[in-house]
Amino acid sequence: MTTVTNTSSATSAAAAKSGPGTGYANLGMSDFLKLMTTQLQNQDPTAPTDNTQMIAQMAQFSSLSGINDMSATLKSISAKLDAVLAAQQAAQKTTTPTA
* Mean pLDDT score, 62-77: 92
State the residue range of the domain holding 19. 1-49
CA dist., res. 66 & res. 74, Å (int)? 12
Q: What average pLDDT does the segment 17-24 reach?
A: 52
Q: Are residues 54 and 43 in the same domain?
A: no
- The residues, any chain, with a CB within 8 Å of residue 14's CB and separated by 6 or more, are 27, 31, 34, 35
Answer for the pair 4, 44: CB distance below 8 angstroms, yes or no.
no
Distance CA 66, CA 60 (A): 10
Instruction: Give yes or no: residues 27 and 62 share one domain.
Output: no
Instruction: Domain count for the chain, please give it.
Output: 2
Q: pLDDT category, 24, cuts 50, 70, 90?
A: low
Whether 8 and 37 map to the same domain: the answer is yes
Q: Measure Cα distances from 63 to 48, 49, 51, 73 in Å.
A: 25, 22, 18, 15
31, 14 in Cβ contact below 8 A?
yes
The mean pLDDT value for 3-25 works out to 50
16: confidence class by pLDDT, cuts 50, 70, 90: very low
pLDDT at 52 > cutoff 70: yes
* Residue-wise pLDDT tens digits, 90-99: 988 887 666 5
Q: What is the pLDDT averaged over residues 43-64?
A: 81
Q: Rounded to two decimals, what is the model's pTM?
A: 0.49
